[in-house]
Amino acid sequence: KAGVTQTPRYLIKTRGQQVTLSCSPISGHRSVSWYQQTPGQGLQFLFEYFSETQRNKGNFPGRFSGRQFSNSRSEMNVSTLELGDSALYLCASSLSGNGNTIYFGEGSWLTVV
Amino acid sequence: GESVGLHLPTLSVQEGDNSIINCAYSNSASDYFIWYKQESGKGPQFIIDIRSNMDKRQGQRVTVLLNKTVKHLSLQIAATQPGDSAVYFCAENAGTASKLTFGTGTRLQVTL
């Protein structure tokens, strides 16, 4: 069974640009959540989607957004990139959230220059 | 890949010894706890989980202990191997959805 797949794995963007990251959850999983990981702040929850609806949101500015498609695949977008957005962005999936085991992908490394 | 969390608490153990990694959680309403292992350049890998109605759970070479009274979680790794070298995170979930709150992480170094 394939795990959580994230693309691209590495990318470099310039300040002010926008970026879209993609995530394919484990087959059958309907909950997809996103996390940002940095050396200074650790792992922080961005948002969670279930059945194409955002169900929970962390404390990030509106420049961070996401969506989920009917096949449970998800994308997150960061607009007007800042240097501080450089991080590892992790996608995780679970059957439905609510205490189900949550599995992570390998992440997308974003560098903003 | 790069390494995240360069200045983490570090636990050094000799190969073959047992390791104990500790974690204090913050939310008394949390009812689900997970331990993850993260190797350099990779995403967090699920190790073991425990629900709040339990105080101990065992897996293969790993045991998680939960003390709700003092909001403390620990991960015990038996017969630690070089392949266990990684950063270990505890995470807590307060019931709904998939929002996990992570601890700061502990780097485990296994020496030969």
A93: nearest Cα among A8, A43, A28, A29? A29
Q: Give the number of other CB atoms < 10 A from CB of residue A25.
A: 27
- Residue B4: the pLDDT is 47
Distance of CA A22 to the CA centre of its chain: 8
> Which residues does residue B58 pair with via DSSP β-bridges, in sequence order?
B63
C-alpha dihedral, B47 to B50 to B56 to B59, nearest 10°: -30
Residue A70: exposed, middle, or buried by beta-carbon count in 10 A (0-12, 13-18, 19+)?
exposed
Taking all residues of chain A, what is their mean pLDDT, rounded to a whole number?
A: 95
Nearest residue, CB atoms, A98 vs list B42, B97, B105: B97
Structural tokens at position B87: 């950063």
Among candidates A13, A25, A10, A42, which has minimal Cα distance to A107? A10
CA torsion through residues A110, A21, A6, A107, sign: positive
Q: Which of B83, B65, B82 is nearest to B74 (CA)?
A: B65
Contact B35, B75 (CB under 8 A): yes
Question: Which pLDDT belongs to residue B2?
Answer: 42
Closest-CA residue of A relative to B4 is A39
Residue A110 has pLDDT above 80, yes or no: yes
Contacts of A35 in chain B (CB under 8 A): 100
Closest Cβ opposite residue A45 in set B32, B44, B99: B99
Amino acid at B15: E
Residue A92 at interface with chain B, using a CB cutoff of 8 Å: yes
With a cut of 50, say whether residue A33 has pLDDT above it: yes
Q: Are B75 and B47 in contact (CB under 8 A)?
A: yes
Question: Mapping DSSP to helix (H, G, I), strand (E, B) and coil, where does residue A13 land?
Answer: strand
Q: Do the chains contact at B5 and A39, CB–CB below 8 Å?
A: yes
Least confident of A37-46, A89-98, B3-12, B39-48: B3-12
Q: Which tens digit of pLDDT belongs to each residue from A47-82? A: 999 999 999 999 999 999 999 999 999 999 999 999
- Give every residue of chain B whose pLDDT is below 50, as ranges: 1-4
Residues 6+ positions from A32 with CB-CB distance below 8 Å? A23, A25, A48, A49, A50, A68, A72, A73, A74, A91, A92, A93
Residue A50: name the closest of A94, A10, A14, A9 by CA: A94
